[in-house]
């Protein structure tokens, strides 16, 4: 077993033990509606375990705000990496994904760190 697969397995196990339920809502754009001038979208939800924490005050900058949250999920718990077009639902609050950081080893995703904004 490679180091990357060991780390991937360990991260999944730890986040299942200490994380709470969060819903990753993958958004797929639909077709343009000429009558309303909007683009429809399709949402696909998957519930995973994740660790939610506040961002550090040192991280606040032009992109990250003081009231943003950080969510860490195991890469093995989702089929593909979340994007900024997707959303996260935690305790019925819908968050926008501001940024996605992929923590990887040997080009294998271990965890995803998402910066969230309500």
Instruction: Please report the pLDDT score of residue 45 as a whole number.
Output: 97
Q: How many CB atoms lie within 10 A of CB 68?
A: 19
Q: Do the Cβ atoms of 37 and 6 come closer than 8 Å?
A: no
Instruction: Please state the domain extents for the chain.
Output: 3-117
> What letter would DSSP give residue 8?
H
The strand pairing partners of 81, in sequence order, are none
**CA distances in angstroms from 48 to 3, 11, 16, 18, 66, listed in the order given:** 23, 13, 8, 12, 25
In whole angstroms, give the CA distance from residue 59 to residue 53. Answer: 13
The closest alpha carbon to 28, from 86, 77, 75, belongs to 86
- Match domain 3-117 to its CATH number in 2.70.98.90, 2.40.10.270, 3.40.50.300, 1.10.3720.10: 2.40.10.270
Instruction: Please report the pLDDT score of residue 1 as a whole number.
Output: 62
> What letter would DSSP give residue 57?
G
Report the predicted TM-score, pTM, of the whole model to 2 decimal places: 0.89
Instruction: Please report the pLDDT score of residue 20 as a whole number.
Output: 95
pLDDT in tens, the chain (118 residues): 689 889 989 988 998 899 999 999 999 998 898 998 898 899 999 999 999 999 999 989 989 999 999 999 999 999 999 999 999 999 999 999 999 999 999 999 999 999 999 9
**CA distances in angstroms from 31 to 34, 42, 74, listed in the order given:** 9, 10, 32
**Backbone φ/ψ region at 18: left (φ over 0), alpha (ψ -120 to 50), beta:** alpha
Instruction: Please report the pLDDT score of residue 73 as a whole number.
Output: 97
């Amino acid at each position: 077993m490679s180091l990357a697969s060991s780390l991937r397995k360990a991260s999944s196990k730890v986040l299942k033990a200490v994380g709470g339920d969060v819903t990753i809502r993958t958004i797929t754009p639909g077709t343009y509606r000429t009558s309303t001038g909007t683009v429809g979208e399709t949402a696909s939800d998957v519930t995973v375990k994740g660790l939610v924490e506040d961002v550090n005050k040192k991280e606040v900058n032009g992109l990250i705000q003081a009231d943003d949250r950080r969510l860490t999920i195991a890469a093995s718990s989702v089929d593909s990496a979340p994007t900024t077009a997707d959303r996260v639902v935690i305790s019925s609050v819908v968050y926008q994904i501001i940024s996605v950081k992929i923590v990887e080893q040997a080009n294998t995703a271990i965890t995803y760190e998402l910066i969230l904004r309500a």
